[in-house]
Amino acid sequence: MVEITLGTALAAIGAGVAVGFAGLGSGLGQGIAAAGSVGAVAEDPDMFARGIIFAALSETQAIYGFLIAILLLVFSGLLGGGKGLDVTAGLVAVGAGAAIGFAGLGSGMGQGITSASSVGAVAEDPDMFARGVIFAALSETQAIYGFLIAILLLVFGGILGG
The residues that touch other proteins, with contacts defined as CB under 8 A, are 52-53, 56-57, 59-60, 63-64, 66-67, 70-71, 74, 79-80, 129-131, 133-134, 137-138, 140-141, 144-145, 147-148, 151, 155, 160-161
| Nearer of residues 6 and 81 to other proteins, judged by Cβ | 81
Residues in the chain: 162
Q: Whole-number minimum distance, CB 142 to other proteins, in Å?
A: 9
CA 15 – CA 24 distance, rounded (Å): 14
Of the two residues 6 and 141, which places its CB atom closer to other proteins in the complex? 141
Distance of CA 96 to the CA centre of its chain: 13
C-beta of 6 vs 44, nearer to other proteins: 44
- Closest distance to other proteins from the beta carbon of 107 (Å): 12
For 85-96, letters b (16+ CB in 10 Å) and e give beeebbbbbbbb
Q: Minimum distance from CB of 159 to other proteins (Å)?
A: 11
Q: What is the nearest approach in angstroms of other proteins to the Cβ of residue 4?
A: 18
CB of residue 60 to other proteins, shortest distance in Å: 7
- Burial class of residue 13, CB neighbours in 10 A (0-12, 13-18, 19+): middle
Which among 26, 10, 3, 41 has a CA at the least distance from the CA of 104?
A: 26
Q: Is 102 in a helix, a strand, or coil?
A: helix
CB nearer other proteins, residue 120 or residue 132: 132
* Beta carbon nearer to other proteins, 87 or 95: 95
Q: Are 122 and 130 in contact (CB under 8 A)?
A: no
